[in-house]
Amino acid sequence: MDSDNVVKLRLAGSCDGCPSSAVTVKLAIEKSIEEAAPEVTDIDVVNMTSDTAAAATETDGDGRTLLPLHPVSKEPAAPAATWVQIDGLGELGQGRLTATRVAATPAVVCNVAGSLYAYADRCPGCGNGLGDAVLEGALMRCVACDQRYDVVRAGRGAGSDSRSELHLDPMPLLAESDGVRIAAPVPAAS
């Protein structure tokens, strides 16, 4: 943390340069930082891609992306996501996937090399669900349109054609000793 109470955060592994990194920061990391250090005013995420930066709200004078933290209020704010405990996912075997619901949101969860990944249950290539998709190593293949997505790389489209720009919608997932929780978006109030 610098003298202006800005936390500098470098994402590594599959988050480094991922277009979904802003979602990860906002839903899974920001709250933890705010609780541990309430004096923090901003999070400076180093090496975000331009796609990720577009999802953030502002930059500093040096062009670095800042994700503003909202001040803690005595009035409860509506959460951007709800963490939902999903039973049975701890037993999902390696190389397997399953369709489930996270609150009202259809989702698909994959186990690749012992790590769980969750995505909205919708293929961006054809619009069909992915509950019947085939997991081939780290690639999920939609059986309806044959489009492949790299599960480990946040659902990026795989291939050399124009459809490689497609991207699954990741859902933050926490696998802990007491079970698996997935963040589902809270529907907007109408």
Order of strands, sheet of 97-102, starting from the edge strand that comes earlier in the sequence: 97-102, 105-112, 115-120, 170-171
* pLDDT value at residue 88: 86
Report helix, strand or coil for 40: coil
Q: Which of the pair, 2 or 133, is modelled with greater confidence?
A: 133
59 has a pLDDT exceeding 60: no
Cα–Cα distance measured from residue 178 to residue 79, given in angstroms and rounded to the nearest whole number: 23
Nearest-angstrom CA–CA distance, 113 and 151 = 11
Owner of token pair 């999070």? 43
Q: Is domain 83-185 annotated with CATH 2.102.10.10? A: yes
d(CA 43, CA 158) in angstroms, rounded, equals 31
Summarised one tens digit per residue, pLDDT across range 143-178 is 999 999 999 988 999 877 767 788 999 999 988 888
7-11, 18-22, 164-168, 179-183, range with the lowest pLDDT = 18-22
Taken in order 59, 60, 63, 66, is the CA torsion positive or negative?
negative
pLDDT at residue 190, as a whole number: 54
Point out the least confidently predicted range of 12-26, 35-49, 95-109, 171-185.
12-26
The pTM of this model reads 0.64
